[in-house]
Amino acid sequence: MDIVTRLLLAGPDPDAVARLVDEAGLAAVAAVLVDEVVFRCDPPANTHPVHVVLDITAGTETARTALRLVRDEPPTAVDNDAEPVGMVLRFTAVDLACRLFGGTRRGGDFGNRFLPAPPRDHAGPDPLMRAAAQATGTIMSGLAAAPALGELSVRYGSDKWASFHWYTRHYENYLAPFRDRPIRLLEIGIGGYGRELGGASLRMWRRWFPRGRIVGMDVVDKTALTAPRVTVVVGDQSDPGTLLAVAREHGPFDVVIDDGSHLNAHVHSTFATLFPHVRDGGVYVVEDLQTAYWPSFGGVDTDTAPGHTSVGLLKSLLDGLHHAERVSAATPGATAGAVVGVHVHHNIAFIEKGRNDEDGLPPWIAGRVRGEGAASS
Ligand SMILES: C[S@@+](CC[C@H](N)C(=O)[O-])C[C@H]1O[C@@H](n2cnc3c(N)ncnc32)[C@H](O)[C@@H]1O
């Protein structure tokens, strides 16, 4: 089992992290922790380049990483001392891991040394001190809870908020219960066009779910976006065999998001294949329902979308949700028995999976009030 998986499983358990450090070695664990902090932190704000040093300790051992921070560049690990050290931050590996992957903040979990070696010929203390404070704040933001999902969407360049769509407020509502759990999320459609590799939403999910494993699938090869906790698969969602292989290898999933081709036929076939691989209590999301009305996507421009469209699929799920109320006492199919909620907002739907086993009206009252004589078989 790799170090990231073991850290995710260890969660808030300090003994499990300590055992991992013993077995895998401090250097290997520290490298994973630093990578996670650097990924999570806000973009650097300091215009004056400065180093922040992370010392990660276990017993008498220390793993040291110097990070160079300056605005418009990602924090980068460096082994030269061309820039002044603005701050040394000290963490034990156990405390840092528990904070990042367990959501716990243990008492006295870090220490610092401020400006250990400001060079005399430097531009002066004020810009350096300000840069050091900004850069240190940037690194510490990597240990904090994630910002709002809309902010992350804009930061990484997804269109899920303040762009073509306003989806993240709905995601925040429906996915909040999964935030701190070691979930598995599959998103079909990674995005990025032309020379842009994309991956905006994969980064957004990785940041928002601190213990989540994210799988992205796209018909275009985007495997270069593979990162800790992020797996990228090449595949066409129109092929159920490919979807099944992904589900068998990486599922079952807590969350599946269909943000791929948005062709209505694909929305149907992808749902039919993947919904059985969503865990009970999980959520299946379909984005961009507008294509139900667009002929170029196999939709129909009518007041009432027909069954073969994405909106038609949702309407059939509503019927299945109420199977117990049918006068003809229809036996529910596997999907009807497993859909417990269908929440539709402008262009996006959240389908909740569970056990749809609520009874309908009891027989001694049903016959009188349901108009069974009028039932169609
Ligand atoms: C709207 S973008 C996804 C945006 C991304 N999820 C985000 O929120 O930033 C749609 C993606 O679906 C991919 N796609 C299109 N047809 C597909 C198919 N048949 N199977 C899998 N992916 C497909 C495209 O290559 C494109 O990257």
Please give the CATH number for the structural domain made up of 149-353. 3.40.50.150
pLDDT tens, position by position, 206-228? 999 999 999 999 999 999 999 99
Q: Would you state the pLDDT for residue 195?
A: 82
* Residue 262 bears catalytic tag: yes
Closest CA to 35 of 12, 3, 59: 3
Dihedral pair phi/psi, residue 70, rounded to 5°: -160, 150
Instruction: Tell me the pLDDT of the chain averaged across its residues.
Output: 92
Question: Which atom of ligand 1 is found nearest the CA of 200?
Answer: 9
Which residue among 220, 230, 234 is best mutated to probe the pocket of ligand 1, counting the most ligand atoms within 8 A of its Cβ?
A: 220
Decide: 242 in ligand 1 pocket, CB within 6 A: no
CATH 3.30.1050.30 fits 3-141, yes or no: yes
Measured in whole angstroms, how far is the alpha carbon of residue 19 from the centre of its chain? 28
pLDDT tens, position by position, 147-186? 999 999 999 999 999 899 999 999 999 999 999 999 999 9
Decide: 95 in ligand 1 pocket, CB within 6 A: no
Structural domain spans, the chain: 3-141, 149-353
Q: What is the band of 122 on the pLDDT scale with cuts at 50, 70, 90?
A: low
Minimum mean pLDDT range among 55-59, 79-83, 223-227, 370-374 = 370-374
Dihedral pair phi/psi, residue 107, rounded to 5°: -60, 145
* Cα(261) to centroid(ligand 1), Å: 6
Closest CA to 257 of 200, 191, 189: 189
Decide: 239 in ligand 1 pocket, CB within 6 A: no
Q: What is the pTM of this model?
A: 0.93
Q: What residues pair up with 283 in beta bridges, in sequence order?
A: 255, 352
Question: Which atom of ligand 1 is found nearest the CA of 220?
Answer: 25
Q: Could you give the count of Cα atoms lying within 13 Å of 22 in the half-sphere of its Cβ?
A: 6
Q: Would you state the pLDDT for residue 363?
A: 74
Decide: 158 in ligand 1 pocket, CB within 6 A: yes
